[in-house]
């Protein structure tokens, strides 16, 4: 499929980045018909463990883990090149949930020995932890309130935990004296119950209930827990935005291709100006999104200030969630009847945009947060 993005025309990549991108492009090129996506839909755990291992072998799981902790020690710009391709290929793995959200929580764990024990297992692909932080629909708040830890026992419910059915352990935030602490909880610990909701993209969200569940090791003390989570969440918001960029880019490529192939009234429908204008509007959406992803990657790679990162994360998540949904739904329109079938792959992109657009905060939630964080001066 022809790459219609402006990247090759106007952006510069380092030699190393070209290699990263090429290997990610090659990785998704193996499944052009999205057979793996379809094979894993609506069956637990909703992702492919074999693919996960291959991704581990490619080294991508350790991108954001420092070299001295056993990782690759690369940056967000580098990672985004992989994420864009995973988005384009709709690769059914919990990359952002595990290799960004959970991994970046673990890289901030208090105890170096614990980090040294857990991170290599995650990076190697043998151990998949799922982070359970959220306690209410549409909440962006990293402070735990509902799930409480008393005397080493957890009580309460977490929601919208992605792909938890295949997790080997949970990282759970819990309220206790002094703030929000983070604990490791074994997958089969007593008192843990999972209730699954089928997502439209074929994966699952879990609601996880803890009833007198003994916690494992403490990863982060209550004084730092909320801040650690907030930082990891903003990094994950950036990462999922890059994935959404891949989703929207490929949806547009497929649609443009279709406009050239499909003939009605003895002409390719791409010759009709109404459709040309629509396609161009979508192209602009995707390139503005790409610009914001690039800008945010640079900021994350160069600036550790939590507030500036939060503003940038909300900006990029709002843009990419919005643009991916717009492109996804207009792509259906451009396809006509065939676009409204399960058989056609274009619909899979719309569904992925629906899921990722809402996860970790929708466009409107992030616009509201952006306003909260930035309007102070303006008022």
Alpha-carbon distance 99 to 104, whole Å? 8
Radius of gyration, alpha carbons of the chain? 21
Alpha-carbon distance 273 to 325, whole Å? 23
- Asked if residue 91 lies in contact with residue 28, where contact means CB atoms within 8 angstroms, the answer is yes
Which residues in the 230-269 window bind ligand FAD by CB under 6 A?
A: 262, 264-265, 269
> For ligand FAD, which residue of 11, 333, 342, 371 counts as binding (CB under 6 A)?
333
Q: Phi/psi of residue 141, each to 5°?
A: -85, 120
The torsion angle over the Cα atoms of residues 95, 96, 99 and 102, rounded to 10 degrees, is -130
> For other proteins, which residue of 2, 8, 188, 265 counts as binding (CB under 8 A)?
265
Q: Which is nearer to ligand FAD, 154 or 269 (CB)?
A: 269
Q: Which is nearer to other proteins, 224 or 352 (CB)?
A: 352
- Residue 301 binding target from other proteins, ligand FAD, none, CB below 5 to 8 Å by type: none
Which residues in the 93-152 window bind other proteins by CB under 8 A?
A: 134, 137-138
> For other proteins, which residue of 201, 235, 243, 253 counts as binding (CB under 8 A)?
201
Strand duo 179-186 + 204-214: pairing:
unpaired
- Asked if residue 181 lies in contact with residue 221, where contact means CB atoms within 8 angstroms, the answer is yes
> Tokens 């909703």 label which residue?
46
Query: SS3 for 179?
Result: strand
Q: Which is nearer to other proteins, 83 or 269 (CB)?
A: 269
Which residues in the 314-343 window bind other proteins by CB under 8 A?
A: 325, 329, 332-333, 336-337, 339-343
CA-closest candidate to residue 163, choices 55, 321, 82, 52: 52
Alpha-carbon distance 141 to 369, whole Å? 11
> For ligand FAD, which residue of 2, 9, 337, 343 counts as binding (CB under 6 A)?
337
Q: Which is nearer to other proteins, 217 or 329 (CB)?
A: 329
Interaction of residue 272 with ligand FAD, rule CB under 6 A: yes
Give the binding site for other proteins (CB under 8 A): 134, 137-138, 159-160, 197-201, 205, 263-266, 269, 272, 274-275, 325, 329, 332-333, 336-337, 339-343, 347, 350-351, 354-359, 362-365
């Amino acid at each position: 499929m022809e790459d219609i993005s402006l990247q090759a025309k106007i952006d510069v990549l380092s030699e190393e980045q070209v290699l990263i991108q090429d290997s990610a492009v090659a990785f998704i090129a193996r499944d052009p018909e999205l057979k793996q996506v379809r094979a894993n839909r609506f069956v637990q755990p909703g992702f492919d463990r074999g693919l996960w291992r291959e991704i581990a072998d490619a080294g991508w799981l350790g991108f954001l883990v420092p070299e001295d902790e056993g990782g690759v020690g690369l940056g967000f710009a580098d990672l985004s090149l992989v994420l864009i391709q995973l988005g384009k290929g709709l690769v059914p793995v919990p990359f952002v949930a595990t290799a960004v959200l959970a991994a970046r929580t673990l890289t901030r764990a208090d105890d170096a020995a614990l980090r040294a024990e857990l991170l290599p297992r995650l990076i190697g692909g043998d151990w998949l932890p799922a982070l359970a932080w959220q306690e209410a629909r549409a909440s962006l708040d990293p402070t735990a309130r509902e799930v409480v830890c008393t005397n080493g026992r957890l009580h309460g419910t977490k929601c919208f935990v992605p792909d938890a059915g295949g997790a080997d352990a949970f990282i759970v935030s819990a309220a206790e004296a002094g703030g929000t602490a983070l604990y490791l909880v074994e997958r089969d610990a007593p008192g843990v119950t999972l209730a699954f909701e089928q997502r439209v993209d074929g994966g699952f969200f879990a609601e996880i209930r803890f009833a007198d569940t003994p916690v494992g090791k403490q990863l982060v003390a209550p004084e730092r827990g909320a801040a650690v989570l907030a930082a990891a969440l903003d990094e994950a918001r950036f990462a999922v935005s890059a994935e959404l960029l891949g989703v929207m880019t490929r949806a547009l490529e497929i649609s443009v291709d279709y406009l050239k192939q499909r003939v009605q009234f003895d002409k390719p429908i791409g010759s009709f100006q109404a459709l040309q204008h629509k396609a161009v509007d979508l192209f602009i959406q995707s390139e503005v999104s790409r610009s914001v992803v690039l800008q945010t990657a640079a900021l994350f790679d160069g600036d550790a200030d939590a507030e500036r990162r939060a503003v940038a994360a909300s900006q990029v998540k709002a843009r990419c969630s919005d643009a991916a949904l717009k492109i996804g739904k207009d792509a259906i329109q451009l396809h006509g009847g065939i676009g409204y079938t399960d058989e056609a792959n274009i619909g899979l992109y719309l569904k992925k945009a629906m899921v990722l657009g809402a996860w970790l905060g929708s466009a409107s939630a992030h616009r509201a947060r952006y306003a909260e964080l930035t309007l102070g001066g303006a008022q």
